[in-house]
Every structure is written in C-alpha cells, then in structure tokens.
Amino acid sequence: MSGELPLKQIRNIGIIAHIDAGKTTTTERMLFYTGRTYKIGAVDDGTTVTDWMDQERERGITITSAATSCDWKDYRINIIDTPGHVDFTAEVERSLRVLDGGVVVFDAVAGVEPQSETVWRQADKYLVPRICFVNKMDRVGADFFRTEEMIKERLSANPIPVQVPLGSESNFEGAIDLIERVAWHFDGNQESSPVKIEVPEEYEDTMEYWREYMIEQLAEVDDELMAAFLDSREITDQEIRDALRRATIDSKVVPMLCGSSLKNKGVQPMIDAIIDYLPSPLDRPPIYGINPRNEKEEVRNPSDNEPFSALAFKIVADPFAGRLVYLRVYSGEAKASSQVFNSTRKEHQRLGRLLRMHAINREEVTEIHTGNIIAALGLKATYTGDTLCDHAKPIILESITFPEPVISVAIEPKAKADQDKLGNALNSLKTEDPTLKVGYNEETAQTILSGMGELHLEIYLDRLVREFGVHANVGRPQVAYKETITASIKTEGRFIRQFGGHGQYGVVSIELEPLDRGHGFEFVNKIRGAAVPREYIPAVESGIKEAMETGALAGYPLIDIRATLYDGNYHDVDSSELAFKMAGSLALRKGVMEASPVLLEPIMKLDVTTPGKFVGDIISDLNAKRGHVDNIETRGSTQLVHCYIPLADVFGYSTALRSMSQGRATHTLEFAKYQKLPENIAKDIINTKYYQ
C-alpha cells in the first residue's frame, strides 16, 4: 500500500508547457473538479492555489514548481505545476526527474511554441510518458489539427488524437470521443458536468476518419492490436484503451485531447486520460543506483518491501514551517522521526515531520511509502540531488544536472551592518535554486550573483527585500564568458620545493586537447608503470580542475578541454598529494597559454512573436545587435522571428521590443551555446580584465 491506496492507483504527473499556454489555469480546474478546492482561482486575479508567491501573483506567471494532490475515481493524482518561463527551466528539470508522467499543455492558436520544444526535450531526456492537452480551443485562430501537425514536425513525436473538437473558436462546445464514438458537450458553467450526446451528423465523417487513423497508428506500435487489426475483427473500446496505455507508457505515442480550461471545457475527460494512459510507479522501470561501498550498480523496485530509497529534488525555505526538503520515494517506506542515511554526503540524518503539500498549505502524515512525493522537515544537511536511503542497504541514485548560469550581477548591501544578513540570505536562496550561483571576486571585493537570465535575477533580488529584509546595491549585468583552447599541446608541470628535511616533489606531463562545445572537461589517465603512483593521480586531476576555474586570458573559467596524463616523476620521500596537485595546476596554466586560447560568449536563442508590420524594425534592430536571424514563420496575422544573438547584446531587450512594437510583440530567450568572440570585442574584454 502507498498511503491508503495501492501503487497501481497512484499517478505522479507534471503539468508542463510554454509560458501562458494555460498550465496553472488547467491545474486549478483539476483541483476544483476533483473536490480538492471549493473555488476556482484565476491567474489574472492572483487567486490561484499553485501560484502562491507574491511575485507570481503580481506577474501572472509561475516561478516555482508547486506540488499538490487530488483524488479522482479511487485514484490519487500527485501534481506538480511547473513554470513555463525559460529562466526557471531548472524547476522543470528537477520536476521531470522525479515524475512518472506529464501533461503537456499547448495553446491551440500558437501550437508548438519555443519553450514547448524545451520542455519536450527535457521530458525526452528522462523518458517521461506524456499526453497532450490542446487548450484555448475557444480563441480566434484555434486549430487542433494544425497543432497535431506541429507536434509531429517540430517535436518528432507520434501524436494520436483520442478526441477531436466539437466546434472551434467561439463555437467550441466540447469534444468527440473517438474511442466510444460519442460527443461530450460542455456548457461552460463551472458547476455543470459534461453531457454525453450523440455525435452530430456533420461530424460523423470526421469522427470515422480520425478513429480509423487512431487504430492504424496504434496497430503499428502495438502487437496485440495489430493481431486484431489483421484478423479484421471488431476491436473493442477496451482493447483500444489498453493498447493506448501500453504505447503511451512505452513513449511510442502521445494521446491528444482538447478543451478550454478557462471556459471549464474538456478538463474532466483529460483527468480520465491521466488515469487511463499515464503510468503508475509500478509501470515505470525500476530505479538504478550505485552502492557506495563497492561501487557496483544496484536496483530498487517500486515496492514497500524493498530497502528505503528517496531522492531530494527541491529545497524550500518555507516562511512558516522552516526548511522543507521535497522527496520522491522510489522504494521502501519510512516513518516520521526515523533515522535515514544520506548516502551522497555519508551522514545519518533524522526525518522530522512529514508533510503532504498542497502548494503552500500542508497536511501532516506519519509515514511515507513508495511512490510518494512528500516534504520533510529536519533534514538540515540534505540538498537538491541527494539520496536518502537505508544505512544497511546504501545506494546513490543519479543526481539532477542543471544548466550553468549565463548572467551575473555584482551585489552589496546598502548598509555595512547588513553584510552578514546578505550572506545568509544568498546562501538560503542558493540552496533552493541550484542554478543560482554566489561567488566572490577578490579583485573587485564584490559578491557576484549569477543566474539564468534577467528575470531570474530580478525575482531573487526582489525576494531579498521582501523575505529577508536586505536592501542591496546591484551593478549592471555581466556576461558569463568562458575560455577554451583551440590547439593540442603537450606540457609539463614541475612542483619541486626543498625546505630542509622533507620537501615537495611532483612532476607531471599532460597533453591538452580542445573538445567540441558542450563536452565539458575530460581527464584521461594513460600512466603505465610507476611514473606517477596511483594514489597521486586523483590529486593531479584535482589540481587541473582547480586551475580551470580561472583562465589565462581574462580569468574566466576554462571549458571543453581533455587533459591526458601520460608521464611524470616522483620522489620516494618528498612526493605528496599536494605536490602533484600543484604540478597538475602548473601544467594546465602553462599549457593553456601555448594552446591558442580564445574567449567564448553565450549565444541565446531568441524567438520574437510580433504583428507583421513591426517585423522590419525588429530585424534591423537584431542585425545591429550582432543577431543572426535563422528564419521567419507566418502564423496567421503574426510573424515568429527565430534568431541567435549574443547575451551581451540583449540586456534590457524587453523594453526595447515594447517601444518598437507599441507593446504588442513578445519574446522568449534561452541559452543555446557558447561561441568564439570576435577578436576586436575579445581584446576589449581582455584589456578591461573583468574577473568573475
């Protein structure tokens, strides 16, 4: 049992989408129709359950993923409503890491938008089965079938409509169920239930065409349905549902539904589809991890009878409860106040109170079971990505990887007395969000705050004032440049010191090679024999990594380098880990200067949606900002401009775009890649030597 319910009756799902597609509105309707809330909240009024932060309610956007749960037809659905804005992509990343399924919400007018592609790729990365809900079918320009085509083309997915719309735009009334060959009519009243009606005559051909298409597509990916299809026998409704469930869980198809959450249309059948097609914890593959005692791979099956294992995926400084650690339990069970082992940090910790979260509200429980998503108090030394487990059966689960920050600001308290207060506040925020980095620049004696974008930093600076009472002076944003090498080179590092008695002796020979963008750092040990004793090799790697934090040109971190240790020398008495660490560090610094180092800058993927008459001005402005326009798409009366542009040239772009388009254009910005800086700009940066 998991809580009061068997595991097969649990669904852990995330609501994911591009900003403004209607995720939070859809979640609000789900909570209302399942009886979790008695009143529907509105994003525009700032009364939604899952957008509980002041900043979310003021801006009308989701900033932090909020966990809640509801019950529907003897099933429990644990829901995480995730942000759509690209600056908060880490919230989506950590949510998808621990969820079993996803509901991807699309705007029926815009179809597949830029951030839809980003969240889809994230779901692919974690092999998360999903269904699609085409929202806003009542808006002018809504087109369900165009969205289906876009999902195929842009996301390389296999969407299968299980509903088609009954009417469209202002005439949108409901949906035709292709499995049961009936129509569901919605009157838009939030208190009304959907009414089952016969399919209108003018829709019968459409229904039969798409029903046949659904069965053919399913037969191609499901052997059981294929057998029935080839026998030319009548396929039952239940056989279709079973085949859809199998194919969805295997990520071979994506069932598509439609509706208008704001107008209370189509939400109940979508909740049914979550139950029917998305997996329970039992349907997902078992979780694998490494036993820290013997470095061997082990498996944990989703069962309360297995040893306890859970992943900490989110830390929140709750203003009322204190430090909350959100956990996804993969196996076993644990009671409140019991002791668990943090295998990542090799520490025993005590679970305090256990809370089932409903956004900012909470309900206390006495124990946690397999499949639960729960918040725990008392885990002071547990951080995002840590594994909690049974000490007798330790395991380290795969952690969560987050993108590196691309933008930084210098920050200092307005009053000297607030220095400690600022440090404590930044540490608290950094613990919550792993994409927020805090560093100290010794050259300028400034604290540097780095994040994923201007909005990301703006939100956290606002939280410093509201939640921690710290007023700070903030410098203008700085770009997170990187350095790399462009040539292969062999180099030597020698650290030999004699102090009388024991000295320090370490000599290493390494080869440095450039790697393709995004490959990070690789260390290869090619020592044969005893040129460098085995116990000193980790120290060489550590010294190289440490030296990579400050590059040779302008002090920016080095990336995309392979370092191969192929030779060295040691002394029986004077060699030590410190000597070889210093030798590795010296070898890297010396080698980088000989390997044609270059500066790299972050390039952003910018998508601008604008009325056609402003396109000319927008493109001229992008060209002036070193932007490269990739293509321009026409979508009804609007144009979508796809562009790649250096981050350094888009600070304050929101304001510029508003003035160019009379406030009618919108844009999204996300990190794309690092690219070599033009030499004239690189020279200016090297000359000014701004150190991060």
Burial of residue 236, with CB atoms counted within 10 A of its CB: 0-12 exposed, 13-18 middle, 19 or more buried:
exposed
- Beta-bridge partner residues of 159: 254
The confidence score (pLDDT) of residue 389 equals: 95
pLDDT in tens, 312-323: 988 887 766 678
Nearest to 565 by CA among 514, 534, 595, 523: 523
Tokens of 680: 């004239």
Per-10-residue mean pLDDT of the chain, 692 residues long, equals 72 85 84 72 44 44 64 89 65 83 92 82 89 94 93 92 92 94 89 88 94 92 85 85 95 95 92 95 93 92 93 80 86 92 93 79 86 88 91 91 78 81 85 83 72 80 82 81 93 84 86 91 89 91 92 88 93 88 94 92 88 90 92 82 90 80 78 88 76 40
State whether residue 278 is helix, strand or coil.
coil
- Beta-bridge partner residues of 328: 311, 373
133 and 103 Cβ atoms separated by less than 8 Å: yes
* Side chain identity, residue 601: E
Nearest to 14 by CA among 5, 25, 23: 23
Give dist(CA 471, CA 221) in Å, integer. 59
Nearest to 456 by CA among 501, 499, 495, 402: 402
173 and 198 Cβ atoms separated by less than 8 Å: no
Average pLDDT, the chain: 85
Give dist(CA 622, CA 376) in Å, integer. 48
- Neighbour order of strands in the sheet with 396-397: 296-300, 287-291, 396-397
E strands, 40-91, are 66-72, 75-81
Q: What is the DSSP letter of 660?
A: H
Write down how long the chain is. Answer: 692
Q: Give the per-residue SS3 of 296-347.
A: EEEEECCCCCCCCEEEEEEEEEECCCEEEEEEEEEECCEECCCEEEECCCCE
State how far the alpha carbon of 247 is from the alpha carbons of 124, 251, 437, 625, in Å: 15, 6, 41, 47
* Side chain identity, residue 21: A
CA–chain centroid gap for 315, Å, is 15
State whether residue 564 is helix, strand or coil.
strand
- Neighbour order of strands in the sheet with 504-514: 489-497, 504-514, 561-569, 521-525
The confidence score (pLDDT) of residue 292 equals: 92
Number of neighbouring beta carbons within 10 Å of residue 346: 10
The confidence score (pLDDT) of residue 386 equals: 92
Helix (H) or strand (E) holding 51: none
The confidence score (pLDDT) of residue 96 equals: 83
State how far the alpha carbon of 631 is from the alpha carbons of 568, 573, 622, 628, in Å: 53, 65, 13, 9
The confidence score (pLDDT) of residue 62 equals: 42
Nearest to 115 by CA among 192, 20, 49, 211: 20
Number of neighbouring beta carbons within 10 Å of residue 513: 16
Give dist(CA 43, CA 249) in Å, integer. 32
- Beta-bridge partner residues of 297: 290
Give dist(CA 65, CA 405) in Å, integer. 19
Radius of gyration in angstroms for the set of CA atoms belonging to the chain, rounded to a whole number = 28
Give dist(CA 63, CA 52) in Å, integer. 10
- Find where tokens 């009366």 sit: 637
The confidence score (pLDDT) of residue 204 equals: 93
Which residues make Cβ contacts (< 8 Å) with residue 371, sequence separation at least 6? 2, 7, 10, 12, 280, 281, 302, 329
Enter the pTM of the model.
0.72
Tokens of 222: 């499901």
Tokens of 140: 């002018």
The confidence score (pLDDT) of residue 63 equals: 47
The confidence score (pLDDT) of residue 274 equals: 96
Burial of residue 319, with CB atoms counted within 10 A of its CB: 0-12 exposed, 13-18 middle, 19 or more buried:
exposed
The confidence score (pLDDT) of residue 443 equals: 55
